[in-house]
């Protein structure tokens, strides 16, 4: 900024946000390609009919075995905190306009989608057909952690964004959005990479006698 003389725009919805979003998309492309390729590979394996012998784990599962209750409570409190702050600024006795409906319903739906996807994998669907139980358990734990982090970060970002709107701090909007996107990379994609190290995976399930 000192060299180029760059200064944040004070115009609401300024064009600098576009560059922030494009940089985030650029950062995400390698992981998106990796996720799509892996998903296609798993689909091809299932379609080939060459699958390992199924082994049932009869131990009962509990969600709290995969994610600490403090994480769940933090996500819930963050959501309630954002919703209270947002509606307070809109006016608790004021009739909702279309923007309020879209914001509240949209954020709620996003959280419910994460819950639904997490429960789907919690109930037994493996990420990969050859995945060992230990790796499956770690994958579910990672998914829950990522979704909790995502929910908390979304709520916190919305609180800060609402504060920006209320106080006219529009020049800081690109900076705040950039910090939010970097947090998504670190605590989202980064969490997956940190907990899915190849040296810790069980490759014995790929042995001939296991298929």
Tell me which residue of 54, 117, 63, 110 sits closest to 82, measured CA to CA: 110
pLDDT at position 13 over 60? no
Q: Binning pLDDT at 50, 70 and 90, where does residue 205 land? A: low
Name the average pLDDT for the chain. 78
Domain count, the chain: 1
Supply the DSSP string of the chain, one letter for each residue: -TTT------STT-THHHHHHHHHHHHHHHHHHHHHHHHHHHHHHHHHT--PPP----SPP-GGGTS-HHHHHHHHHHHHHHHHHHHHHH-TTSPP-HHHHHHHHHHHHHHHHHHHHHHHHHTT--SSTT--HHHHHHHHHHHHHHHHHHHHHHHHHHHHHHHHHHHT-GGGHHHHHHHHHHHHIIIIIHHHHHH--GGGS--GGGSGGG-
Structure confidence at residue 140 (pLDDT): 83
Residue 171, in any domain of the structure? yes
Distance of CA 67 to the CA centre of its chain: 15
pLDDT at position 211 over 50? no
Residue 183, in any domain of the structure? yes
Min mean pLDDT across 2-6, 15-19, 201-205 is at: 2-6
Structure confidence at residue 150 (pLDDT): 92
Cβ atoms of residues 51 and 129 within 8 Å: yes
Residue 16, CA distances (Å) to 6, 78, 166 in order: 11, 28, 20
Note the pTM of the prediction, 2 decimals: 0.73
For residue 84, what are the domain limits? 69-210
Residue 35, in any domain of the structure? no
Structure confidence at residue 57 (pLDDT): 58
Give the C-alpha separation, 99 to 80, whole Å.
19
Dump pLDDT digits (tens) for 153-163.
Answer: 999 999 999 99
Residue 28, in any domain of the structure? no
Give the C-alpha separation, 17 to 15, whole Å.
5
Structure confidence at residue 2 (pLDDT): 45
Residue 95, in any domain of the structure? yes
Mean pLDDT within 168-177: 83
For 55, the token pair is 């082994």
Residue 38, in any domain of the structure? no
Structure confidence at residue 169 (pLDDT): 81
* pLDDT top residue among 210 and 181: 181
pLDDT at position 52 over 70? no
Residue 18, in any domain of the structure? no
Structure confidence at residue 1 (pLDDT): 43
Residue 174, CA distances (Å) to 17, 29, 83 in order: 5, 21, 23
pLDDT at position 84 over 90? yes
Q: Binning pLDDT at 50, 70 and 90, where does residue 76 land? A: very high
């Amino acid at each position: 900024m000192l060299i180029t003389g760059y200064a944040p725009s004070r115009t609401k919805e300024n064009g600098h946000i576009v560059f922030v979003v494009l940089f985030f998309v650029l950062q995400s492309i390698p992981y998106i390609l990796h996720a799509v390729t892996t998903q296609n590979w798993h689909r091809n394996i299932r379609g080939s009919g060459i699958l390992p012998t199924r082994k049932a784990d009869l131990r009962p599962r509990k969600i709290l075995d995969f994610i600490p209750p403090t994480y769940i409570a933090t996500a819930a409190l963050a959501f309630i905190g954002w919703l209270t702050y947002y509606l307070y600024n809109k006016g608790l006795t004021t009739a909702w306009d279309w923007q309020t409906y879209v914001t509240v319903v949209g954020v709620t739906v996003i959280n419910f989608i994460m819950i639904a996807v997490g429960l789907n994998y919690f109930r037994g669907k493996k990420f990969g057909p050859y995945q060992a139980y230990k790796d499956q358990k770690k994958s579910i734990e990672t998914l829950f952690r990522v979704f909790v982090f995502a929910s908390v970060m979304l709520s916190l970002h919305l609180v800060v964004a609402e504060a920006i709107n209320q106080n006219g701090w529009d020049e800081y909007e690109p900076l705040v959005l950039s910090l939010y996107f970097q947090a998504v990379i670190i605590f989202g994609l980064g969490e997956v990479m940190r907990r899915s190290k190849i040296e810790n995976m069980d490759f014995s399930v790929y042995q001939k006698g296991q298929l």
